[in-house]
Each structure stands twice: as structure tokens, then as C-alpha cells.
Amino acid sequence: MKTALLSFKNVSYWYTDKENPLFQTVNIDFYKDTFYTITGTSGSGKTTFLSLAGGLDKPREGDIEYDGKSIRKMGLGKFRHDYVSIVFQSYNLIPYMTAYQNIASAMAITGTKVENKEDFILKMLAKVGISEEQAKQRVLTLSGGQQQRVAITRAFCCDTELIVADEPTGNLDDETSKDILKLFIDLAHQENKCVIMVTHDPQIAAQSDVNIQLSNGSFRILQHI
């Protein structure tokens, strides 16, 4: 039997200033070689759920396990550092560094080794339409869509098995968005990663292997495979 990479075990979460829990006793397993989407109306808790999956916050009750180990016991910092790549809506790039440096430093932090680093990074950036010239500019001088493509490439270049992304194609044009989506799908299916993506786009959800729909604290899981 396949073992889950990431498991939500009886997870409950609430914001302390809110009367009702956002979700209660959630049990969901996430596997490698699978592209997951999380959909739901605005405010249904998609970003909160993703924050838990990416170790940015911890459940109020229950636990999340990575490869059978409690991420609470491991420490959220270690979990994020060693095992997860996160793509946020707000890029989270280091503004005074170039696109190239942002990726190279993230690779160094996660201990990702490749033969010819410069060549590798420039090729990965070229795949998302970032030229060598743009790669060597400070990220702040790039457009929002270009910065998002750099943030996505950073996640692709770091050799983690889990990738979580919050609306990564939200501010990209249709054509670029399609290309980037394909990269995420290939990452899951060809590189055996577990990709979990929040999206509002039904067309993206339709292309995922598993679509998790959040609504009023309940989770509906639609398997497309």
C-alpha cells in the first residue's frame, strides 16, 4: 500500500477572535505523484488550510504528519526548511537580490545540489519566460507577473517532495498561466512530487488529480484519477 507523504490527523483549526471553528477533525492524506487543488468560496479557509499543510501555522487540535512523523514534534521551522517549497500570492522574494540570487540562495538553504548551478537556474527561468538579462536584475525591477514566475521557479528548483502554492497563476495572463500549470503537473507526475495548489479557477481544478472543495467547514474530495 502507498504511504501518505502528508497526513492531516483529526485536525481542527479556529481563529481565536471567531466564534466558530474554521474546520474540525479533518482527516486527509496527500500522496506523491499527485496534483491536488483546493477550491471553495472566498473565506472558506483555503489559505488557512494551505498554511497548515506548509507548516506556517499549526493545528489547534490534532496533528499533521510528514512521512509518518509529527511536524509539531519535528518543529515547524525544520519542516519548512527541509521538506516544503511554498509559493505565496505575495511572492516573498528577497527584494535586493536578483532573480538568480533568490533561487540560488534557496537552493543552498535546502541543500539542493546540481551539476552546473548557473546553467540549471537560467534554464529553469527560461522555461517560465524569464531571460538571462532579467534573471540578473534585482527582482524589484521585474513586473508582478515576472516576480511570480521567479517565485514559482524557486519552488521548482528546490528539491523538496512537497510543494504548496496559493493561487500561483492568479496574476498571470492566460497563456503563461497554462504553461506554468503544465510545469506544476509535470512536477507531480514526472518528478514524483506532491503538489497542493489553492485556486479559484475551475479549469485548473478540472486538471488536478484530486480536487478538495471547502465549504462551511466541510471537505468534499473529488478524485479525477
Residues that bind ligand ATP (CB under 6 A): 15, 17-18, 22, 40, 42-48
Tell me whether residue 2 or residue 18 sits nearer to ligand ATP (CB atom).
18
Please provide the distance, in angstroms rounded to a whole number, between the alpha carbons at the two ends of the chain.
17
Tell me whether residue 78 or residue 200 sits nearer to ligand ATP (CB atom).
200
The amino acid sitting at 144 is G
Residues contacting residue 91 through CB under 8 Å, at least 6 positions apart: 139, 147, 148, 150, 151
Least separation in angstroms between residue 47's CB and ligand ATP is 3
Least separation in angstroms between residue 71's CB and ligand ATP is 19
Count other C-beta atoms under 10 Å from residue 89's C-beta. 15
Q: Could you tell me if 117 and 105 are in contact, meaning their C-beta atoms sit under 8 angstroms apart?
A: no
Least separation in angstroms between residue 208's CB and ligand ATP is 17
Q: Could you tell me if 80 and 53 are in contact, meaning their C-beta atoms sit under 8 angstroms apart?
A: no
Tell me whether residue 76 or residue 97 sits nearer to ligand ATP (CB atom).
76
Tell me whether residue 38 or residue 162 sits nearer to ligand ATP (CB atom).
38
Q: Could you tell me if 3 and 19 are in contact, meaning their C-beta atoms sit under 8 angstroms apart?
A: no
Least separation in angstroms between residue 38's CB and ligand ATP is 8
